[in-house]
Structures are given as C-alpha cells and as structure tokens.
Amino acid sequence: MTQARPLSLITGASAGIGAAFAHALATRGHDLVLTARRTDRLDALAQELSHQHGIHATAITCDLADPDGAEQLCATLAARGLHVDWLINNAGYGVPGRFDQNDWQVHADFLRVLVTAPTELAWRLIGGMRERRYGRIVNVASLAGHVPGTAGHTLYAASKAYMIKFSQSLALENQHLGVHACALCPGFTRSEFHDVTGTRPLVSKMPDFMWQDASAVVQEGIEAVERGDAVHVTGRFNRAVKGLFKLMPDRLALKVSAKQSKRYRAHE
C-alpha cells in the first residue's frame, strides 16, 4: 500500500458515525484505514469503498480496550510506511445502569476506549502532522459533554466533556502549523448505539426533530474541522439545547437534566 492520497484513520468504523465518515472521506478521495472489533464488517466496508471510489481502504481489527491497542495500531501503520493525515477518534459505546452495578473492569475498558485510546492515538500521530504541517483530528464527543450529567451511563457525559476540553487545547497548540483539532458533538443520531446500550425502547419515543442521520453529522464535522473550529455541536436543535443550558443556573440545569434524562437513560 503506497500513499499517494490523504490517509484517514477511523476508529469504530464498522457502523454508525464511523462508517459514515468512511463513506464521506472516500468520496473526497482519501485512502482509509478502518479499525474496529468486528472484522467481517470492516472487510466488507473496505472492499465496498475501494471498489466504489478507486481508493485503497484497508481493515485492521483492533480492540482499543486493550492497553496496548493504540500502540500496536500505530506500529502496524509505521511498519507499512503509512502516515495519517486525518484521525477520526470515533470508537465508543455506552454502559447503561447505575455506576456501582457494573464491575470495575467494565468501567476500565470504557475509559480506555473513550478517553485513553483516543488521547494516545492523537499523541502518537500528531508529531507527524506537525512535521508535515498538515493534519486533521476529529474527536467524536457529544452534546452530553455540554449539559449536566445524568443518572445512568455515569461515565459517558464525563468522557465526552473531557474530549471537548482536550480538543480545544489541541487546536490552540497546533493550529499555527496547519493541524486542526475539533470536538464533534452530535445529539441523538440514527445508529446502533441505542441498540447496544439497550435503550432503544426509550429513545424510540423521542420526536423525529431531535434526531440526525449519521451522514449529516459527519458532513458538519468535516466542514467544521476544515474551518478550524475547535468545537462543533451538530444540528440547530442541539445548538439550541446547549445554549439554553448555558443560560440556566447550575441548580436549575441539573434538575431539568435529571427530569429529561429519564426519557433516554437506563439507570436502574
């Protein structure tokens, strides 16, 4: 695999927002490295995009819950002589239920996938971007990182708030070298996320105007990181929600969040 085109590394690429990023960047002429735990889906997507767009897409199975996962992934890329121009830190999931109801290993794996691994991947890859004076890092965060935490899925909002602040600092440190970092913050997105967390029966009751398709989220994300935005909340409704909570006193915001979260969070 020789690198004649921009190369995008997408984590959690087998479905949802990750797969939508793969389609969108392949359309822009990027070669792709797709990673996730589901090899069959990755291979099928890589073959489909290579055939449709005349690019080179390769699948690398990787479990970012493994403490050595990010390092091994980057070592594989280096061994193939590949440098990453776009890093899409998308891999993620939710852990439903009350914090103490899950084993610590469940939480430890979650933190590796949603916090440690994306941070490590950025650290391992940004040096090359700075040297080449070009790079794009999209950290898929969430509207949840902008509003008060809720009961259930206890670490989810916290992890997304971290990614927002991390992206802001990365952007400030590197924008003068042509390296842009952006925290992409969608709200409810049509994907498998809620099926995996078991909250599909709850969220299916949410009105249609609160939802976005993954492709729309990705389009906004690409445009935002290209502009140099450090943070981008997708969709007018989600931006309105963020603005509303920002205006509320903390105590009121927490009460509102607690009441509304019962519509989409499983916490018992």
Torsion-angle region of 126 (φ positive above 0: left; ψ -120 to 50: alpha; else: beta): alpha
**Contact yes or no for 113/65 (Cβ under 8 A):** yes
Domain total for the chain?
Answer: 1
> Tokens representing 248?
């509320």
Task: Render pLDDT for 239-252 as a digit per residue (tens, 0 to 9).
Answer: 999 999 999 999 99
SS3 32: strand
Task: Render pLDDT for 134-164 as a digit per residue (tens, 0 to 9).
Answer: 999 999 999 999 999 988 899 999 999 999 9
pLDDT value at position 206?
Answer: 66
| Average pLDDT for the chain | 92
What share of the chain has pLDDT > 90, as a percent?
81
Task: Render pLDDT for 46-89 as a digit per residue (tens, 0 to 9).
Answer: 999 999 999 999 999 999 999 999 999 999 999 999 999 999 99
CA angle 195, 198, 203 (to 5 degrees): 75
- pLDDT band (50, 70, 90) for residue 211: confident
Is residue 240 one of the residues assigned to a domain? Answer: yes
Whether the per-residue pLDDT at 11 is higher than 90: the answer is: yes
Is residue 78 one of the residues assigned to a domain? Answer: yes
Whether the per-residue pLDDT at 259 is higher than 90: the answer is: no
Which domain, by its residues, includes 148? 7-261
d(CA 171, CA 12): 23
Is residue 40 one of the residues assigned to a domain? Answer: yes
Is residue 1 one of the residues assigned to a domain? Answer: no
Which CATH number characterizes residue 250's domain? 3.40.50.720
pLDDT value at position 210?
Answer: 78
Whether the per-residue pLDDT at 194 is higher than 90: the answer is: no
pLDDT value at position 263?
Answer: 65
More confident residue, 241 or 191: 241
87-93 mean pLDDT: 97
Is residue 43 one of the residues assigned to a domain? Answer: yes
Whether the per-residue pLDDT at 202 is higher than 60: the answer is: no
Whether the per-residue pLDDT at 103 is higher than 80: the answer is: yes
Burial of 181 (0-12, 13-18, 19+ CB in 10 A): buried
Q: Which residues contact 195 (CB under 8 A, 6 or more apart)?
A: none
Is residue 183 one of the residues assigned to a domain? Answer: yes
Beta strands in 131-193 (DSSP E): 135-140, 179-185, 188-190
Is residue 266 one of the residues assigned to a domain? Answer: no
d(CA 26, CA 34): 11
- pLDDT band (50, 70, 90) for residue 25: very high
Among candidate residues 93, 134, 156, 162, the one labeled active-site is 156
Catalytic site residue 156?
Answer: yes
Q: Which residues contact 2 (CB under 8 A, 6 or more apart)?
A: 81
Is residue 2 one of the residues assigned to a domain? Answer: no
Other beta carbons less than 10 A from residue 60's beta carbon: 18
pLDDT value at position 86?
Answer: 98
195-224 mean pLDDT: 76
Q: Which of 175, 182, 112 is nearest to 141 (CA)?
A: 182
